[in-house]
């Protein structure tokens, strides 16, 4: 019998903490647990597997920004974590309202622990019960895997193989391609409509589907074939059914599904050549080799293209979202995941390559899956032979833009995790052409008095100057960017001009000051 969140909250080891559900109370009664884990690490989501009750003392959350707290909640919800329990006290007197609102929106139960309890004792007591339950789930999952293997050996279709999994988990099971197309699906036997009542069943299903969708738990499992992500297994578990069994059985079935796909729809030459092409680009292979692989991967060797580099602990999970976006915005593409780095190249429309690149960049910024990651879109190059340069420039951009002060805010004021390498063209050139001493000396000669003033007065005139220059010397625009009154902006500029030898707009020094201000940020 599944162990639910409400059962755990009533356990003596947790009742001592005086728990109160602050968000997701409607889901608490039916939320099932797979494990209890504790961590103070805010980047813990990629290390979790879904179904956990996560315990945290709140120290790291107390020091985090509001944006980071909200990201933390969203990442846990996206990972399928069952619930989050936060201890309040001296470090974190109460749960931030922004976190509670984000959790409520994401459907993630959040519990406030108002008294201190030893997390070790909680985990030992509850996990021992969960282990006993997981043994039974593993046995049933193995039975499902064996039955699916038998179906495969007898030549059963993908639908029939999934029907075995659906029958044991009582879940609707769907296998989808990376582009979102349904490859196969199955429903539990009790949900299958009778042939004589198909019309009535279809109408009934249409009416009831929204209700089921609202309450069912959707579990995503990646299905790689020959090491290449080929599909996703989706299990929609109705309320009251065992989610942990569905998750365990689904993961146990991955190898069987990979074999079935290999027999019926094995990765084509394009997919295999695409992965080989990305490895060759990343290692700097000779142009003739890149042209050879590009042809096999369906990428025109002489078409303009752009590189995309994504760095994340969940890069493999992001691959599907990125590939779906590239399929919509690019003529052709290839991707490859190497540990925490996702590499991609996308060929663009030759007659409007820059416009295509901007559309690709804007679309990446809007992908919900990109939250909590850092990505860069490289410059456009004329063909596949120059793809290594676009990849290298995108990687360099990520090295230069590894802090929020280098990012560009979006329309809603939030900083986008996707960075345009062209916005860092000056920095990329300076880093590659000048050694650190040359850069420091140049900045010092141009802005020495201003830097000394900031250091002595703890002011931020350098940031003001950089913003003003980035805004094309438009004082009103710069004031809005810095959230200051225009009069205050004029006063700051007068002080800056005094320190820099006068208003640079009437001299030939404007470009030099702008370059120095941007190089100073690199330091």
Q: Is the separation of the CB atoms in 300 and 332 below 8 Å? A: yes
- Per DSSP, what are the bridge partners of residue 83? 53
How distant, in Å, are the alpha carbons of 14, 116, 420, 462, 500 from that of 469? 57, 52, 19, 11, 14
Say whether pLDDT at 325 is over 70.
Answer: yes
> How large is the average pLDDT for residues 472-490?
90
Question: What does the alpha-carbon distance between residue 404 and residue 469 come to, in Å, rounded to a whole number?
Answer: 19
Whether residue 368 is found in the same domain as residue 288: yes
Whether residue 13 is found in the same domain as residue 105: yes
Question: What does the alpha-carbon distance between residue 310 and residue 318 come to, in Å, rounded to a whole number?
Answer: 9
In a domain, 220, yes or no: yes
Q: Looking up tokens 């703890």, which residue turns up?
A: 458
- Assign residue 256 the CATH number of its domain: 3.30.450.40
Whether residue 184 is found in the same domain as residue 324: no
The interaxial angle of helices 436-457 and 461-470, nearest 10 deg, is 120
Banded pLDDT at 395 (limits 50, 70, 90): very high
What Rg value do the Cα atoms of the chain yield, rounded?
Answer: 28
pTM: predicted TM-score of the whole model, two decimal places: 0.52
pLDDT at 129: 74
DSSP H/E element including 87 = strand 83-87
pLDDT at 204: 38
State both tokens at 64: 């985090």
In a domain, 123, yes or no: no
Whether residue 414 is found in the same domain as residue 518: no
pLDDT at 215: 63
Q: Is the separation of the CB atoms in 390 and 379 below 8 Å? A: yes
Q: Is the separation of the CB atoms in 383 and 304 below 8 Å? A: yes
User: Residue 207 class from Cβ within 10 Å (0-12 exposed, 13-18 middle, 19+ buried)?
Assistant: exposed
Question: What does the alpha-carbon distance between residue 228 and residue 223 come to, in Å, rounded to a whole number?
Answer: 9
Q: Is the separation of the CB atoms in 19 and 95 below 8 Å? A: no
Average pLDDT, the chain: 82
The predicted-structure confidence for 21-47, as pLDDT tens digits, reads as follows: 888 887 776 787 778 888 888 888 888
Number of Cβ within 10 Å of residue 256's Cβ equals: 22
In a domain, 131, yes or no: no
Handedness of CA 223, 224, 225, 228 (dihedral sign): positive
Q: What SS3 class is residue 515?
A: helix
Number of Cβ within 10 Å of residue 344's Cβ equals: 28
Among 289-298, 398-407, 457-466, whose mean pLDDT is lowest?
398-407
Say whether pLDDT at 384 is over 80.
Answer: yes
Last residue of one domain, picked from the residues 384, 404, 426: 426
Last residue of one domain, picked from the residues 238, 265, 292: 265
Whether residue 43 is found in the same domain as residue 154: no
Higher pLDDT among residues 218 and 272, named by residue? 218
pLDDT at 396: 92
Whether residue 468 is found in the same domain as residue 506: yes
Q: What percent of the chain has pLDDT over 90?
A: 14
Q: What SS3 class is residue 53?
A: strand
**If you ran DSSP here, which 8-state letter would residue 190 be given?**
G
Q: Looking up tokens 């990201």, which residue turns up?
A: 71
Among 31-40, 164-173, 184-193, 481-490, whose mean pLDDT is lowest?
184-193
DSSP H/E element including 84 = strand 83-87
DSSP H/E element including 419 = strand 418-420
Whether residue 488 is found in the same domain as residue 417: no
Whether residue 108 is found in the same domain as residue 153: no
Which residues fall within 8 angstroms of residue 349, CB to CB, at 6 or more apart?
Answer: 331, 355, 356
| Residue from 296, 273, 277, 274 nearest 287 by CA | 277
CA angle, residues 307, 312, 317, in degrees to nearest 5: 90
Last residue of one domain, picked from the residues 117, 152, 175: 117
Q: Is the separation of the CB atoms in 56 and 42 below 8 Å? A: no
pLDDT at 212: 40
Whether residue 300 is found in the same domain as residue 383: yes
Whether residue 151 is found in the same domain as residue 259: yes
Which residues fall within 8 angstroms of residue 69, CB to CB, at 6 or more apart?
Answer: 61, 96, 98, 99, 102
The predicted-structure confidence for 249-296, as pLDDT tens digits, reads as follows: 888 888 888 888 877 655 566 777 788 888 889 888 888 889 888 888
Higher pLDDT among residues 488 and 349, named by residue? 488
How distant, in Å, are the alpha carbons of 400, 425, 477, 479, 482 from that of 470? 17, 13, 10, 12, 12
DSSP H/E element including 213 = helix 198-215
pLDDT at 191: 45
User: Residue 263 class from Cβ within 10 Å (0-12 exposed, 13-18 middle, 19+ buried)?
Assistant: exposed
In a domain, 306, yes or no: yes
Handedness of CA 264, 269, 275, 276 (dihedral sign): positive
Number of Cβ within 10 Å of residue 390's Cβ equals: 22
DSSP H/E element including 399 = helix 387-400
- Per DSSP, what are the bridge partners of residue 182? 176
Say whether pLDDT at 227 is over 70.
Answer: no
In a domain, 328, yes or no: yes
pLDDT at 179: 67
pLDDT at 262: 75
> How large is the average pLDDT for residues 413-438?
82
Say whether pLDDT at 202 is over 50.
Answer: no
The predicted-structure confidence for 7-16, as pLDDT tens digits, reads as follows: 788 888 888 8
State both tokens at 162: 């999934």
pLDDT at 371: 67
Say whether pLDDT at 193 is over 60.
Answer: no
In a domain, 63, yes or no: yes
Say whether pLDDT at 226 is over 70.
Answer: no
Whether residue 47 is found in the same domain as residue 156: no
Q: What percent of the chain has pLDDT over 70?
A: 88
The predicted-structure confidence for 84-114, as pLDDT tens digits, reads as follows: 988 988 888 889 899 999 988 888 889 898 8
Whether residue 226 is found in the same domain as residue 319: no
How distant is the alpha carbon of residue 503 from its chain centre? 45
The interaxial angle of helices 119-153 and 254-265, nearest 10 deg, is 30
Q: Is the separation of the CB atoms in 315 and 401 below 8 Å? A: no
In a domain, 124, yes or no: no
Which residues fall within 8 angstroms of residue 508, CB to CB, at 6 or more apart?
Answer: none
Question: What does the alpha-carbon distance between residue 165 and residue 496 come to, in Å, rounded to a whole number?
Answer: 69
- Per DSSP, what are the bridge partners of residue 110? 23, 84
Number of domains in the chain: 4
Range of the domain at 63: 5-117
In a domain, 126, yes or no: no
pLDDT at 336: 85
State both tokens at 301: 């060797």
Question: What does the alpha-carbon distance between residue 408 and residue 168 come to, in Å, rounded to a whole number?
Answer: 49
Higher pLDDT among residues 351 and 302, named by residue? 302
Say whether pLDDT at 444 is over 80.
Answer: yes
Question: What does the alpha-carbon distance between residue 249 and residue 517 come to, in Å, rounded to a whole number?
Answer: 57
Banded pLDDT at 132 (limits 50, 70, 90): low
State both tokens at 341: 């780095």
Q: Is the separation of the CB atoms in 421 and 406 below 8 Å? A: no
């Amino acid at each position: 019998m599944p162990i639910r969140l409400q059962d755990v909250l009533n356990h003596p080891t947790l009742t001592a903490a005086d728990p109160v559900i602050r968000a997701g109370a409607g889901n608490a009664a039916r939320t099932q647990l797979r494990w209890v884990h504790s961590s103070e690490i805010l980047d813990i989501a990629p290390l979790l597997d879904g179904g956990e009750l996560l315990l945290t003392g709140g120290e790291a959350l107390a020091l985090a920004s509001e944006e980071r707290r909200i990201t933390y909640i969203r990442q846990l919800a996206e990972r399928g974590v069952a619930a989050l329990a936060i201890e309040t006290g001296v470090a974190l007197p109460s749960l931030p309202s922004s976190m509670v609102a984000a959790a409520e929106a994401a459907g993630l139960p959040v519990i406030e622990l108002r008294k201190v309890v030893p997390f070790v004792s909680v985990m030992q007591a509850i996990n021992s019960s969960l282990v006993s339950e997981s043994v039974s789930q593993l046995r049933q999952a193995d039975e499902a895997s064996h039955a699916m293997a038998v179906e495969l050996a007898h030549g059963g279709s993908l639908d029939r193989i999934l029907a075995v999994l659906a029958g044991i988990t009582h879940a609707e099971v769907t296998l989808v391609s990376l582009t979102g197309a349904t490859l196969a699906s199955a429903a539990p036997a009790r949900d299958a409509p009778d042939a004589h009542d198909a019309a009535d069943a279809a109408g009934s299903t249409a009416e009831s589907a929204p209700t089921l969708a609202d309450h069912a738990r959707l579990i995503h499992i990646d299905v790689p074939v020959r090491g290449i992500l080929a599909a996703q297994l989706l299990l929609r578990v109705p309320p009251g059914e065992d989610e942990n069994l569905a998750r365990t059985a689904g993961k146990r079935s991955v190898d069987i599904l990979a074999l079935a796909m290999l027999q019926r729809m094995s990765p084509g030459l394009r997919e295999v050549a695409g992965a080989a092409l990305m490895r060759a680009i990343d290692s700097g292979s000779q142009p003739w080799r890149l042209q050879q692989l590009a042809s096999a991967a369906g990428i025109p060797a002489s078409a303009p293209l752009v590189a995309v580099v994504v760095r994340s602990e969940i890069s493999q999970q992001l691959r599907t979202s990125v590939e779906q976006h590239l399929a919509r915005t690019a003529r052709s593409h290839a991707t490859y995941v190497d540990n925490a780095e996702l590499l991609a190249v996308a060929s663009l429309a030759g007659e409007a390559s820059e416009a295509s690149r901007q559309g690709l960049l804007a679309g990446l910024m809007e992908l919900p899956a990109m939250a909590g990651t850092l990505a860069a879109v490289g410059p456009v190059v004329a063909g596949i032979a120059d793809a290594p340069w676009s990849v290298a420039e995108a990687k360099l951009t990520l090295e230069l833009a590894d802090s929020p002060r280098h990012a560009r805010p979006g329309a809603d004021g939030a900083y986008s995790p996707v960075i345009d390498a062209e916005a860092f063209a000056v920095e990329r050139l300076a880093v590659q052409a000048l050694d650190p001493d040359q850069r420091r000396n140049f900045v010092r000669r141009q802005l020495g008095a201003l830097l000394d003033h900031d250091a002595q007065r703890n002011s931020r005139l350098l940031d003001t100057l950089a913003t003003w220059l980035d805004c094309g010397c438009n004082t009103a625009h710069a004031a809005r960017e810095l959230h200051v009154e225009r009069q205050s902006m004029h006063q700051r500029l007068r002080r800056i001009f005094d320190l820099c030898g006068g208003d640079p707009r009437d001299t030939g020094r404007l470009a030099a000051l702008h370059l120095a201000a941007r190089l100073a940020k690199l330091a």
